[in-house]
Amino acid sequence: MDTTSPFDNFSLENTDLTNIFKGWPPRNSLFQEQLFSRVLVKKLSIKGIETCDHMSLVSENRVWVTEGNNTILTDLATGDVFHRLTDVCVPMELCAKAVHSVNRDGDLFYIDRDLNINKLSKDLGTISTFVRKTSSVWLPRSLYCSVRSGDLFVGLAIITRELHSNGFTYVHKYEGKVNRYDESGQLTQTLHRNFDESYLFSCPVDISENSNGDVVVSDFGKSVVVVTDRWGSHRFTYGGLYYDIYSNEDYTDFDKYFYTFTRYQQGLDLWPWGICTDPMSNILVCDVHNDSVHMLDKDGQLLLHLLTDQSPGISTPRNLIYDFKTQLLWVGSFDGTVSLYEYNQQRLTYPDEIEPMEVIDTKRE
């Protein structure tokens, strides 16, 4: 009997793991399909916008949308543009993403060209500086107005460039933090380091506050989702999919050993971008690598790919908003379209206990 392990002479040193799991089937695919229903309510194109870099919801039909240096408030029902801002920072020039957000009162907060945080009143009549830039090192990359607490979260990062040993290439190194401000503009909390003094974040490009008080951050620099509790302690980091290949006869014993050896490695698949949470405290994040939307539970366990590039209405998802009033998920795509989805979580059961799913009426007035 041969007792040699495939890993006797194997080392991960200098091994590129980036695509090692690409194409492997996701875990519990039957389970996830049975537990959730997803209904495309409608899909819309935004007039005057070719790419949806970021969006912030004002009402059921009105939404702020940014494309490069063009930020407009548009009515999705008529296509009319109600307002246009010319001083919003350009996301990609700043290595930023979530450059504006709407608070519970309907006011718009945004990062301006001078990297201050401005507030535009709901009536569109008054612009004021809410948080003034005070550092030439820490630059804002994202912001989020919490529906839960009313606080403003601002993601900041330092980007340093070091000359590579080849003499030509610059190496970008990131260090990030998240500041919390109350509704008066007072800084009340900074999320920066963990208990072991390691950096919590690298480059926070989108932020949400969960219904349980957790702060949920899409960190594109680390290619992970980082979640802290309300006091700033690290809860978990989610870095991509784990795959179950043991039941697949197409994979060799070496594949299975390799999977076992690397299953807890983070960041193999996920390139996180837009992020939000829903009333069940689930976390939804856009994966720009696979053009999909991952759904995690509040403790960081992957539930399923809620949406993939095969889902109706989906092409290149980049932005997410959950509307707590209409209970619809807004998905903005890189092609300038916005899709609205209704989804329903069934009670958790094992696959052989699944009951017939409720039929959801997709017709709306």
Domains of the chain listed by start with CATH number = 29-346 (2.120.10.30)
Residues 79-133: pLDDT tens digits?
899 999 999 998 777 778 999 999 999 999 999 999 999 999 999 999 999 999 9
Highest mean pLDDT (candidates 85-99, 136-150, 171-185): 136-150
Q: What is the pLDDT of residue 96?
A: 82
Contact 91, 105 (CB under 8 A): no
H or E stretch at 294: strand 292-296
* pLDDT of 47 above 80: yes
Contact 320, 275 (CB under 8 A): yes
Encoded tokens for 149: 């607490």
Read off the pLDDT of each residue in 17-25 and give the average, rounded to a whole number: 39
The dihedrals phi and psi of 179, each to the nearest 5 degrees, come to -100, 140
What percentage of the chain reaches a pLDDT higher than 70? 72
Q: What is the pLDDT of residue 12?
A: 41
Nearest to 87 by CA among 120, 133, 52: 120
Q: Helix, strand or coil for residue 304?
A: strand
Lowest mean pLDDT among 74-78, 154-158, 195-199, 250-254: 250-254
Contact 322, 313 (CB under 8 A): no
d(CA 249, CA 56): 46
pLDDT band, very low/low/confident/very high, at 4 (cuts 50, 70, 90): very low
- 333: Cβ–Cβ under 8 A, 6 or more apart, which residues? 52, 314, 315, 316, 317, 318, 319, 339
Please tell me the pTM assigned to this model: 0.78
- 341: Cβ–Cβ under 8 A, 6 or more apart, which residues? 38, 39, 40, 41, 307, 313, 328, 329, 331
- The sheet carrying 292-296 orders its strands as 272-277, 283-287, 292-296, 302-307
Per DSSP, 348 falls in state P
Per DSSP, 94 falls in state G
Per DSSP, 221 falls in state T
The dihedrals phi and psi of 135, each to the nearest 5 degrees, come to -130, 140
d(CA 42, CA 29): 26
- Select the more confidently predicted residue: 257 or 194: 194
Per DSSP, 92 falls in state G
Alpha-helix runs per DSSP H in the chain: 29-35, 253-262
d(CA 340, CA 158): 35
d(CA 255, CA 261): 10
Mean pLDDT across the chain: 79
Amino acid at 361: D
pLDDT band, very low/low/confident/very high, at 36 (cuts 50, 70, 90): low
d(CA 350, CA 35): 9
Amino acid at 104: R
Q: What is the pLDDT of residue 333?
A: 92
Q: What is the pLDDT of residue 165?
A: 66
d(CA 77, CA 75): 5
- 264: Cβ–Cβ under 8 A, 6 or more apart, which residues? 242
Q: What is the pLDDT of residue 180?
A: 98
Q: What is the pLDDT of residue 56?
A: 97
CB atoms within 10 A of CB 252: 11
Beta bridge partners of 63: 57, 74
d(CA 73, CA 110): 13
* pLDDT of 256 above 50: no
Q: What is the pLDDT of residue 198?
A: 84
* Polymer length in residues for the chain: 365
Residues 300-356: pLDDT tens digits?
998 888 998 888 888 899 999 999 999 999 999 988 899 999 987 653 333 333 333
